[in-house]
Structure 1
């Protein structure tokens, strides 16, 4: 979490030193120096540098700052030089300039912050840590940056110690939990992770998140009984919890407690606080369950009706595949068509829809749909084949021939599909009373089939 304090007024404050010394002035005496002129030149070059930096002309800004340096060796000049060198990825020059600025004002946090940025850009973790350790004195928020740097440098002990201190001081944070889990994942310290989560739960047993996180981690490590135990504890503490059912239904399914599993699924699918992605996973799991236990199909129908307006593309496809498996082609087609409303250009689903339309004798629809698909995928031979089949079924031989002969040109190394085309061309030519060509294509089809 970087803090930038590049405020023009403050920079200008570094430039001007109040002149509080007054003396008797002899107006008849000629000036003995040109200090006023020097100050004017310095200001002119400095403001030009800021202007050039503002329009991202960093080299011009550097040129102007170097002119300033010749006139007055102020710390702010090195600071601004460092910033511009950093923008140009000239990290060596940036580091040198900023270290000079820091040497002149060791406690200036803006100088340290920019130096930290240079080390960050270079990936110099060791120097970045040293700089952030100085910055922490001024802004405690840098401690999270420091924890992240400790992880990069593989100093996991220091990282966890610092994260513990921050959690104790400020409470649990998702960002810090991400860093903490990085350490546990890298080191494989699952026991420490669980211990930390159990400690959190014991300290705050009313917090739903503590239960859910522990359930997830127990499940991840294969300790399903412990996960189930924590889920049941959560239900006792918070009987109205909906999120716990995202875990409970799986436990119930594994224990063959089907009625409880179905009840948990319904609870999860109807809960407004559970997001669509999680609901999709629940529904997909239930579809898989019902495909193995078809006696619960009525429950599947009830559940899908409950979430009718919230089904994802993947859920609709899963439902279609389920109904295909149980040979309910009408329902399979219905769900495939619903899924296409969400992803109208999904070629795999378009193909499934067309094949089902052919199977269900919806030939006019298959012709219209295949033509729409060809506008999107003009080099897909299967679309020409399906269109040709539909025309043949409607006794439209000439239209079938046109589609099939066009599609043949797009077949590459697929003898089986080529044989299918020849079969349909044989049918089409027979419809047009061209028996000679019909027989020719029939023989070609048979020869390809025999070879394969």
Structure 2
């Protein structure tokens, strides 16, 4: 029987100091019976909660409360079940009681926080989060910043953000919040003066420069923003964030060499988020399109994104040039894109299209026929193989590729018409004028039906 009492005490977070002391004054049989009833109800509650029968779990827990009305563990379990049922009022009562009985148990406070957050009671959440910071300050500081923003306590949010930038560094989310706060009229002018003073007092704190650059940019004071960025670069030569700002200023000043240098600093940085790197590349892409002498720098920059799992950057740059009808440049990037993802059928079709548009007929025929081996049911590949063969006056091969390709066309009238037209060309090259006219007529009919 001693084992049962000890086990019960461990499971219920130190309840031996209360109820077990009473049991020690009773007869052994009475102790066993009381302990058994409590344990049975408690484990039944855990079982029912585990299979999401929260109402039944609550019934068992109420029986436990009759035995031990001051046991915080029971109130903690009540809170979990009420929260699962979205009975937030009762969940709050249960967790509040648990925190009163055992204020040093972090999980009761966490449960109370979950209730308040679920109920969107952000004001009460703040009080609980401040308590939770006794256990994990850095983790809950992030929550506290968000709660201050939700309750529009911008002064407190800004003070906490600045503190965290000094202690744990910059984060994308906090930067977003800070940008929102700085957009408020009351913060703009006074904040500039505060930041200038802060930079003078601590010239090695990067975040103050960044905030000041943002404020000047928002006020269309680009010259002042650029001057601050240069001060940052001088004060902290290793600052990657300075290069983000300087990159933009160099582009605006048409300083391509300096812009390239800043861009590569940004792309090489482990501190700067990929979204910002993509934005920098996109801006340089537009610049390089208008200044072709920087196409080599652009190509090198694209290589930095080879390991990007979300976006095939080379392919997207190829599409940009394709829309501009700059087919030679598009070809280069579609080839890079297929190095990154060799089985991208859209990328394959785009590459073959640019080969056709640039008259690279040998490459077109060779690439299309090679890809047919890997994708034997892809009708467009047969079209490009036939197109390349026709242009190289290999009409018999073209006829075979195109005839085979027709078998794989499904609900694509445009592709079918293109294949028919190339079949007409192939038969014309082979001297069969009748079939040539037949396929041209079929192509014209498909085109006409499509317009209708």
CA distance in 2, matches of 1:436, 1:190: 78
Question: Offset at 1:360?
Answer: 0.4
Residue aligned with 2:348, SS? helix
TM (norm. structure 1) is: 0.72
Q: 1:72 is matched with which residue?
A: 68
Contact 1:336 1:352 in 2 (8 A): yes
Structure 2 unaligned residues grouped into runs of 5+: 1-8, 307-311
Check if 1:364 corresponds to 2:358: no
Change (3 A) 1:206 1:191: farther
**Which of 1 and 2 has greater Rg?**
1
Change (3 A) 1:305 1:178: closer
How many positions carry a matched residue from both structures?
A: 423
CA distance in 1, matches of 2:404, 2:170: 58
Q: 1:98 is matched with which residue?
A: 95
Q: 1:115 is matched with which residue?
A: 112
Question: Offset at 1:220?
Answer: 5.2
CA distance in 2, matches of 1:164, 1:336: 48
Change (3 A) 1:335 1:122: same
Q: 2:228 is matched with which residue?
A: 230
Check if 1:335 corresponds to 2:319: no
Question: Offset at 1:40?
Answer: 1.9
Check if 1:247 corresponds to 2:248: no
Question: Offset at 1:230?
Answer: 0.6
Q: 1:436 is matched with which residue?
A: 434
Q: 2:6 is matched with which residue?
A: none
Q: 1:182 is matched with which residue?
A: 177
CA distance in 1, matches of 2:250, 2:182: 33
Greater relative contact order (Cα < 8 A, sep 6+):
1
CA distance in 2, matches of 1:292, 1:431: 43
Q: How does 1:126-145 map to 2 (within 5 A)?
A: 126-129=123-126, 135=131, 141=137, 145=143
Q: How does 1:201-240 map to 2 (within 5 A)?
A: 201-216=199-214, 218-219=216-217, 222-239=220-237
Change (3 A) 1:319 1:211: farther
Residue aligned with 1:12, SS? coil
Change (3 A) 1:341 1:41: same
Contact 1:384 1:407 in 2 (8 A): no
Which of 121, 126, 136 is the aligned partner of 1:124?
121
Q: How does 1:265-414 map to 2 (within 5 A)?
A: 265=263, 268=266, 281-294=279-292, 297=293, 299-301=294-296, 303=297, 310-312=304-306, 313-315=312-314, 317-318=316-317, 329=328, 332-358=330-356, 359-362=359-362, 363-371=364-372, 374=375, 378=378, 382-393=380-391, 394-395=394-395, 396-406=397-407, 409-412=410-413, 414=414
Check if 1:36 corresponds to 2:36: no
TM (norm. structure 2) is: 0.72
CA distance in 2, matches of 1:364, 1:311: 30
Question: Offset at 1:260?
Answer: 3.7
Q: 1:3 is matched with which residue?
A: none
CA distance in 2, matches of 1:199, 1:64: 63
Question: Offset at 1:237?
Answer: 1.9
CA distance in 1, matches of 2:253, 2:105: 63
CA distance in 2, matches of 1:21, 1:361: 94
CA distance in 1, matches of 2:411, 2:275: 39
Question: Offset at 1:189?
Answer: 0.8
Change (3 A) 1:255 1:410: same
Contact 2:402 2:419 in 1 (8 A): no
Q: 1:151 is matched with which residue?
A: 149
Contact 1:246 1:264 in 2 (8 A): yes
CA distance in 1, matches of 2:298, 2:273: 16
Residue aligned with 2:77, SS? helix
Q: 1:48 is matched with which residue?
A: 43
Contact 2:42 2:61 in 1 (8 A): no
Change (3 A) 1:162 1:100: same
Contact 1:147 1:162 in 2 (8 A): yes
Question: Offset at 1:281?
Answer: 4.8
Residue aligned with 2:372, SS? helix
Q: 2:422 is matched with which residue?
A: 424
RMSD, aligned α-carbons: 4.6
CA distance in 2, matches of 1:277, 1:144: 21
Structure 1 unaligned residues grouped into runs of 5+: 1-7, 24-30
